Amino acid sequence: MSYGMIPQEVIDEVLRRHEISETVGKYVHLTKNGKYLKGLCPFHSEKTPSFTVTPEKQIFHCYGCGKGGNVIKFVMEMEGESFPEAVKLLAEEAGIPVTWTSYSAEDASPVQKEKRILQEAHDYSAKLYHYLLQNLEVAKPAKAYLQSRGLDDALIEQFGIGYAPPRWDTLTQALERKQFPASEMEAGGLLSKRQDAEGYVDRFRDRIMFPIHDVRGQTIAFGGRLLSDGQPKYLNSPETALFSKSRTLYRLHEARSAIRKSGQVVLLEGYMDVIKAWSAGVRNGVATMGTALTAEHAAVLRRFAEEAVICYDGDDAGQAAARKSIPLLEEAGFRVRVSLLPNRMDPDEYVTSYGAEAFVREIIEGAVSAVKFQLIYLRKSHILLEEDGRIRYLRDAVRIVAVRNSPMERELLLKELAQEFGVALDTLKQECLEYRQREKLESARDIPAGSWNNVWNGNNFASKTPPLGAAHVNAERQLLSWMMQDRDAAHLVEQKLGDRFHVEDHAALAAYLYAYYAQNNDPDVGRFVTTLQDDRLERMASVIAMIDVPYGERELEDCIRTIGRASQDREYERLTEELKRASREGDQARVLQLGIEIIALEKQRKMS
């Protein structure tokens, strides 16, 4: 058995070399839950984990969105790759020689072709820019600038920093020599159309170039800092088939391991901040690229960490951005803390002025809770020297405290406010209680009629398991689960039931299992899933494989009887309908014959 040009033994080796929990763990923060691992689904937004990995069976399944399969399917879904490309990627990671053609030019979709060409062009461009920075005479001012910012050759090399010369066609000509189509390079954000003539020019000129990578470490975009006077100071690649600003975070591919290990991510604002924080030992830092933090960013990061430290610039703009980021991160399920940088400094300046140790101790470890930061930020909009200003501040502060879920946290915060402003604690508690009651009432009024569902109900009463069907449907699913895990069970079902499954997809899975074992394959859910080559069947197989009931021949016989009774019930309904029709038509001979058949069937039903 093989998939296209890929030998089956290669697929088997890929599955054997890649422990699914390790591969999924590169994208999703997993926690142990008995024999399962659980986490937030990377394929849809959720607060309560419904994504499950079963190492024993080497499969994943999400009870929320229904996606499921083996490690190859996960990479396909996560990276948007075809089956051959996912196998190729996993094979390369495992050091398995890629000696087959993953797909022919005819097999690749237009989107796959575009992405492949753009990926190669970006990787080439990153190497070219880096070479030019290190070797070009005109790049010396750029090199001197980086050194003045505290970046030595090791950091420049590690972060792949490069330089785009002032010429209009340095990259244009280089890409042309490599036979990359200019129109596709323009669509991919590397080139720009000439405004006053035909042809193309470099998008980035006289800029220090910071390569931007996807989670696999492949170059997908660039950020360029202008050296000469002009605007914009920073220029990023546009949205392309490879690059989405709302989902991509600078250096996540390198920081991911440290983020997962520490359970914490440090959010910074710019390239230099990330690089200087890295040099200071903060290896779990990432940055958005000229855009505000999005809910998508937060969802991506929540797969790897539970705590977020916002370390934005200390100026007004940076602190305002931090304040706006807090609800996004909390909505995604993060514990949030905020760093307080003195004298309107940015992280880069702080590391340069005070050193790495102080940065880690005072700025990262010394970050305050989100609510503390909000209270500090609130002070800027009130004149606390005036009595009226203090009253307004306390009212606004109590509202901030009131929305916190933890009673203990509310108590401690209100005590601090009471002590600082000389107000009775009971007074602040009463104000807090009244505000919470008003908000609860307003929330209840705002819920649309009939909308008491998973969106409005924070307790999440929505079922996390597939709905139960008729008895015979459940019996078929149970049989298939045993068949996937036990060759003898599959043989017994084939002998006693064959293809007489009531659900069409169940019958299809059974047929695949019969064929799978006929080729002397051992029970292996992950390997079996690769034989299906159908999204719907793969999802169904992953759901059914999660059924965890011990196998026994007696239980198997019970399931077969349940399915048999359903067949008899269906036949009884058919015969009675025919009997009614024959009676209406006055066909007495047919009525007599059907009556005999019904009596015989009733005897069978009683005996079964």
The amino acid that residue 390 corresponds to is R
Q: Given this model, what pLDDT does residue 352 score?
A: 94
**Structure tokens of 567?**
């067949």
Other beta carbons within 10 Å of 589: 8
Domain ranges of the chain: 6-92, 110-234, 250-374, 388-444, 470-600
Q: Which of 363, 185, 364 is nearest to 258 (CA)?
A: 364
- Residue 2's pLDDT band (cuts 50, 70, 90): very low
Question: Does residue 52 contact residue 546 with C-beta atoms inside 8 Å?
Answer: yes
* pLDDT surpassing 70 at residue 601: no
C-beta neighbour count of 540 within 10 angstroms: 22
Select the CATH number that applies to the domain covering 470-600 from these four: 2.40.160.40, 3.40.630.30, 1.10.600.10, 1.10.860.10.
Answer: 1.10.860.10
Q: Which residue has the higher pLDDT, 522 or 173?
A: 173
Distance CA 71, CA 87 (A): 10
Which range, of 32-41, 358-367, 466-475, averages the lowest pLDDT?
466-475
Cβ neighbours of residue 473 closer than 8 Å, sequence gap 6 or more: 502, 503, 506
CA dist 89 → 27, 39, 97, 200, 530 (Å): 15, 24, 11, 33, 16
Whole-angstrom Cα distance, residue 312 to residue 330? 17
For residue 66 the two structure tokens come to: 């229904």
Contact 192, 173 (CB under 8 A): no
The tokens for 55 are: 């190492």
Distance CA 242, CA 98 (A): 24
For residue 535, is pLDDT > 90? no
Give, for 116, the enclosing helix (H) or strand (E).
Answer: helix 110-135
Q: What is the pLDDT at residue 321? A: 94
The four Cα atoms 86, 92, 94, 98 give a dihedral, to 10 degrees, of 100
pLDDT in tens, 481-491: 899 988 888 99
Contact 29, 260 (CB under 8 A): yes
Q: Percentage of the chain with pLDDT > 90?
A: 43
In the CATH scheme, what is the code of domain 110-234?
3.90.980.10
Contacts of 330 (CB under 8 A, 6+ apart): 336, 370
Give yes or no for residue 593 having a pLDDT over 70.
yes
Q: Is 170 exposed, middle or buried (0-12, 13-18, 19+ CB in 10 A)?
A: buried
pLDDT tier at 530, thresholds 50, 70, 90: confident
Residue type, 442: E
Measured in Å, how far apart are the chain's first and last C-alpha atoms? 40
Q: Is the pLDDT of residue 248 over 80?
A: yes
Strand partners, 268: 287
The dihedrals phi and psi of 250, each to the nearest 5 degrees, come to -65, 125
Report the pLDDT value the prediction gives residue 364, as an integer from 0 to 100.
97
Cβ neighbours, 10 Å, residue 422:
7
Mean pLDDT, range 406-412, rounded to an integer: 90
* 3-class secondary-structure state, position 602: helix
Structure token digits, residue 275: 């690089």
Alpha-carbon distance of 37 to 478, in angstroms, equals: 22
Decide if pLDDT at 313 tops 80: yes
- CA nearest 93: which of 217, 270, 247, 231? 217
DSSP state of 360: I
CB neighbourhood size of 443 (10 A): 10
- Give dist(CA 284, CA 288) in Å, integer: 14
Strands 51-54, 207-213: parallel, antiparallel or unpaired by DSSP? unpaired
Residues 36 and 54: their CA atoms lie apart, in Å, by 5
pLDDT at 3: 47
- pLDDT on residue 571: 65
Cis peptide before 232 (omega within 30 of 0): yes
CA 229 to chain centre: 40
How many Cα atoms within 13 Å fall on the side-chain side of residue 358?
Answer: 12
- Over residues 272-282, the mean pLDDT reads 96
Mean pLDDT is lowest, of 18-27, 521-530, 568-577, for 568-577
User: Which residue carries 């949030």 as its tokens?
Assistant: 336
Q: How far apart are CA 372 and CA 590, in angstroms?
A: 85
Nearest to 314 by CA among 279, 265, 353, 282: 353
Q: Which CATH architecture has domain 250-374?
A: 3-Layer(aba) Sandwich (3.40)
Least Cα distance to 75 among 64, 95, 91 occurs for: 91
pLDDT tens, position by position, 188-245: 999 999 988 889 999 999 999 999 998 878 899 999 999 988 889 999 999 998 998 8
Mean pLDDT across the stretch 127-142?
Answer: 96
pLDDT at 304 over 50: yes
**Mean of the per-residue pLDDT values for the chain?**
85
One-letter amino acid identity for 107? D
Separation in Å, CA 59 to CA 53, 347, 468, 576: 6, 42, 22, 45
pLDDT of residue 453: 34
Rg (C-alpha) for the chain, rounded Å, is: 31
pLDDT tens digit string along 66-121? 888 999 999 888 876 778 888 888 888 888 887 765 444 455 567 778 888 999 99
Which CATH code fits 6-92? 3.90.580.10
- For the segment 533-545, the average pLDDT, to the nearest whole number, is 85
Question: Position 308: which residue type?
Answer: A
Residue identified by tokens 């070399």 is 17
* pLDDT given at position 457: 33
- Mean pLDDT over residues 133-158, rounded? 95
Scanning the structure block, which residue is given the tokens 């990259």? 171
Q: Are strands 285-287 and 264-268 parallel, antiparallel or unpaired?
A: parallel
pLDDT at 161: 98
466 pLDDT band, cuts 50/70/90, is very low
From 167-181, 258-272, 436-450, 581-595, the region with the lowest mean pLDDT:
436-450
pLDDT band at 592 (very low <50, low <70, confident <90, very high): confident
Look at residue 202 and give its three-state secondary structure. strand
Percentage of the chain beyond pLDDT 70 is 89
Residue 192 CA neighbour count, 13 Å, CB half:
10
**Three-state secondary-structure class, residue 248:** coil
What DSSP state is assigned to residue 344? G
Least confident of 1-5, 244-248, 304-308: 1-5
3-state SS assignment for residue 247: coil
Q: How do strand 200-202 and strand 191-193 relate by DSSP bridges?
A: antiparallel
